[in-house]
């Protein structure tokens, strides 16, 4: 085996490994918080980008969506019960935060880590 | 990321670099495909799955079905949900329930008659632990409007006088009206009745499988597209309890043609002077039930029963709930979670319930 063959194999492996890491990383970036208001899609936000989004819900109600460290939460809301704020942070595929008064749903899609269930009772 | 990749041997490998890149990409694709989440799901899902969501009955609902007639079945279910909501909403002043609560004489629709009959029958059978005449107290506490307050003891005992399911023992053929001062709320049973109707609609349209979640009240039809049972997670009612710490779920029920309905104080509550008041009122006291249970899940083929029993067994407490199960074990099973995090699961769920947490099967052995 010549020096060039070894180089070729090494290069092959290196490029393969790097692309592999790159693809995997890219998929992690695919995780998003999808927001729907009254059943209609309102927006979709990258979980890897720290950001704050004001959501305008039904009847002028508002919810402040905060994305930080790959997790989404509602930090402020105009609704009386604030159940959406109490729901805390979500980051795994299929998890959601729901605000009934403003008809706002924040759902995590396309995350790497899938939850082991189809639906939650409770 | 690609722009930041540096390749130190590039200049020595000009001729082979391209080949290496191509080969590397191929190997990367092969490696990646193996880990690609959901790849197998795409293969298994050759039939269309249709999902819709709707805000109705004061909650968030999602409806999903697969099979050739899935679209029609889901649309028909949505229409049915709207129709029943219009019949029973206490907020809609034209609804049959709103008219009954104003003590008008009402010619009841078939659905209203049949849900009232179920509500009365379950109310009697649970000796009033389930009671749709609790409505005036729900209103006084503000759980119907979100305008919360703690009623005075005097006001509470005044209103309690009219909480009595046996007062509904009335002839429901033709026009009927509620006894004086009695008002009703079907909130503790309507979603179960409605999910049963969705299952009937799925059956009529011949869908292959389907699932509905009406504000966390889950009912499943047949199986998932790949033929496996639906995996219904049970929400952890209080992840701050040491025995339940760090777990999102209390467990998972593998369900096919079953309703899985959970009641817990976390669903609706408010705080006043450092005390938390939740929405599951004990019809005996008019106060939030303080039975030592923090979550009750009923698993049954009968969604209407499951809905009503999830609140009644919460009110009863563990001992009475298990006694009740003993005499009705052919019609439902139950998962009880206590304040200290102890989980008890009735025998019928052995084999379809799983959990990372410690749990006991009742009765033992």
For residue A105, list its beta bridge partners.
Answer: A36, A98
**Could you tell me which residues of chain A have a Cβ less than 8 Å from any Cβ in chain B?**
4, 7-8, 10-16, 18-20, 22-27, 36, 38-39, 80-81, 83, 98, 100-101, 103, 105, 112, 114-122
Question: Rounded to a whole number, what is the distance in Å from the CA of B51 to chain A's nearest CA?
Answer: 11
Q: How far apart, in whole angstroms, are the C-alpha atoms of residue A94 and residue A81?
A: 24
Exposed / middle / buried, residue B280 (Cβ in 10 Å: 0-12, 13-18, 19+): buried
Angle CA B92–B177–B193, to nearest 5:
55
- Residue ranges and CATH numbers for the domains of chain B are 65-365 (3.10.520.10)
User: Which residues from B are below 8 Å from A6, CB to CB?
Assistant: none
Contact A122 B237 (CB under 8 A): yes
Asked if A89 and B276 count as a contact pair (C-beta separation under 8 A), the reply is: no
* Fold (topology level) of A31-122: mini-chromosome maintenance (MCM) complex, domain 2 (2.60.320)
Question: Rounded to a whole number, what is the distance in Å from the CA of B337 to chain A's nearest CA?
Answer: 12
Asked if B81 and B54 count as a contact pair (C-beta separation under 8 A), the reply is: yes
Asked if B193 and B84 count as a contact pair (C-beta separation under 8 A), the reply is: yes
Closest of A121, A85, A107 to residue B353, by C-alpha:
A121
Angle CA B329–B326–B250, to nearest 5:
70
User: Structure tokens of B85?
Assistant: 């909501």
Of the residues A8, A58, A87, A122, the best mutation for testing chain B's interface (the one with the most B CB atoms within 10 Å of its CB) is A122
User: Structure tokens of B344?
Assistant: 């008890």
For residue B235, list its beta bridge partners.
Answer: B249
| pLDDT per residue as tens, chain B (365 positions) | 333 333 344 434 445 554 555 555 555 544 444 443 333 333 334 568 999 999 999 899 999 999 999 999 999 999 999 999 999 998 899 999 999 999 999 999 999 999 999 999 999 999 999 999 999 999 999 998 889 999 999 999 999 999 998 888 778 888 899 999 999 999 999 999 999 999 999 999 999 999 999 999 999 999 998 889 999 999 999 989 999 987 889 999 999 999 999 999 998 899 999 999 999 999 999 999 999 999 999 999 999 999 999 999 999 999 999 999 999 999 999 999 999 999 999 999 999 999 999 999 999 87
pLDDT of the residue at B16: 52
Residue extents of the structural domains in chain A: 1-30, 31-122
Contact B37 A27 (CB under 8 A): yes
Give the single-character DSSP code of B139. H
Q: How far apart, in whole angstroms, are the C-alpha atoms of residue B95 and residue B147?
A: 22
Question: Rounded to a whole number, what is the distance in Å from the CA of B64 to chain A's nearest CA?
Answer: 11
pLDDT of the residue at A12: 80
Runs of H (alpha helix) within chain B: 14-35, 39-44, 70-88, 96-101, 110-125, 135-141, 153-160, 190-205, 303-316, 318-328
Question: Rounded to a whole number, what is the distance in Å from the CA of A122 to chain B's nearest CA?
Answer: 5
Exposed / middle / buried, residue B21 (Cβ in 10 Å: 0-12, 13-18, 19+): middle
Contact A14 B24 (CB under 8 A): yes
Nearest-CA residue of chain B relative to A9? B20
Is B297 in CB contact (< 8 Å) with chain A? yes
Contact A7 B9 (CB under 8 A): yes
Give the single-character DSSP code of B229. P
Nearest-CA residue of chain B relative to A94? B233
> Quick count: other Cβ atoms within 10 Å of Cβ B297?
30
pLDDT of the residue at A1: 66
pLDDT of the residue at B197: 98
Contact B234 A20 (CB under 8 A): no
Helix (H) or strand (E) holding A68, with range, is strand A62-68
Nearest-CA residue of chain B relative to A110? B37
User: Structure tokens of B15?
Assistant: 């001729």
| pLDDT per residue as tens, chain A (122 positions) | 678 888 888 888 887 777 666 555 444 445 889 999 998 889 899 888 888 999 999 999 999 999 999 899 999 999 988 889 998 999 888 889 999 999 999 999 886 567 788 999 98
Judge if the upstream peptide bond of residue B93 is cis by omega within 30 degrees of 0: no
Nearest-CA residue of chain A relative to B218? A121
Q: Name the residue facing A121 among B58, B261, B268 (closest C-beta).
A: B261
Cα dihedral sign, A40-A44-A50-A54: negative
Residue B227 CB partners (closer than 8 Å, separation 6+): none
Is B17 in CB contact (< 8 Å) with chain A? yes
Strands A32-37 and B275-278: unpaired
Residue identified by tokens 């790097």 is: A18
Residues 315-334 of B with CB under 8 A from A: none
Asked if B27 and A23 count as a contact pair (C-beta separation under 8 A), the reply is: no
Residue B257 CB partners (closer than 8 Å, separation 6+): B199, B220, B221, B222, B301
Asked if B354 and B251 count as a contact pair (C-beta separation under 8 A), the reply is: yes
Q: How many helices (H) and strands (E) does chain A have?
A: 2, 8
Tell me the residue length of chain A: 122
Question: Rounded to a whole number, what is the distance in Å from the CA of B284 to chain A's nearest CA?
Answer: 24
Tell me what ipTM this predicted complex has: 0.75
Nearest-CA residue of chain B relative to A114? B37
């Amino acid at each position: 085996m010549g020096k060039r063959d070894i180089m070729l194999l090494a290069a092959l492996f290196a490029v393969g490994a790097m692309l592999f890491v790159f693809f995997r990383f890219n998929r992690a970036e695919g995780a998003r918080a999808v927001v729907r208001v009254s059943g209609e899609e309102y927006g979709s936000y990258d979980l890897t980008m720290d950001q704050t989004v004001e959501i305008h819900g039904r009847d002028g109600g508002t919810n402040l969506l905060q994305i930080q460290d790959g997790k989404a939460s509602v930090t402020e809301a105009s609704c009386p019960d604030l159940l959406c704020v109490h729901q805390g942070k979500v980051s795994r595929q299929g998890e959601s935060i729901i605000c009934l008064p403003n008809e706002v749903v924040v759902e995590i899609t396309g995350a790497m880590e899938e939850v082991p269930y189809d639906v939650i009772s409770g | 990321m690609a722009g930041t990749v540096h390749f130190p041997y590039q200049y020595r490998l000009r001729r082979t670099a391209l080949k290496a890149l191509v080969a590397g990409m191929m190997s990367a694709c092969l490696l990646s495909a193996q880990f690609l989440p959901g790849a197998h799901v795409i293969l298994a899902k050759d039939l269309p799955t249709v999902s819709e969501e709707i805000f109705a009955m004061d909650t968030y609902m999602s409806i999903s079905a697969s099979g050739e007639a899935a679209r029609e079945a889901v649309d028909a279910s949505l229409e049915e949900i709207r129709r029943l909501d219009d019949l029973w909403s206490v907020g809609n002043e034209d609804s049959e329930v709103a008219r009954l609560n104003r003590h008008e004489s009402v010619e009841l629709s078939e659905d209203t008659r049949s849900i009232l009959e179920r509500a009365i029958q379950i109310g009697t059978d649970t000796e009033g632990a389930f009671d749709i005449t609790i409505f005036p107290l729900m209103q006084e506490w503000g759980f119907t409007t979100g305008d919360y307050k703690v009623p005075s003891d005097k006001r509470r005992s005044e209103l309690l006088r009219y909480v009595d399911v046996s007062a509904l023992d009335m002839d429901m053929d033709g026009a009927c009206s509620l006894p004086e001062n009695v008002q009703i709320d079907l909130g503790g049973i309507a979603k179960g009745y409605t999910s049963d109707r969705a299952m009937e609609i799925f059956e009529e349209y011949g869908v292959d499988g389907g699932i509905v979640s009406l504000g966390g009240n889950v009912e499943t039809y047949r199986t998932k597209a790949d033929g496996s049972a639906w995996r219904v997670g049970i929400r952890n009612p209080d992840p701050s309890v040491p025995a339940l710490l760090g777990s999102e779920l209390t467990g998972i029920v593998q369900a096919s043609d079953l309703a899985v309905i959970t009641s817990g104080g976390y669903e609706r509550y408010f705080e006043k002077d450092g005390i938390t008041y939740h929405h599951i009122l004990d019809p005996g006291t008019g106060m939030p039930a303080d039975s030592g249970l923090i979550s009750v899940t009923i698993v049954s083929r009968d969604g209407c029963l499951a809905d009503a029993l999830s609140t009644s067994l919460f009110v009863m407490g563990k001992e009475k709930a298990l006694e009740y199960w003993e005499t009705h074990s052919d019609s439902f099973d139950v998962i009880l979670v206590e304040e200290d995090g102890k989980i008890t699961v009735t025998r019928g769920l052995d084999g379809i319930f799983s959990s990372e947490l410690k749990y006991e099967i009742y009765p033992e052995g």
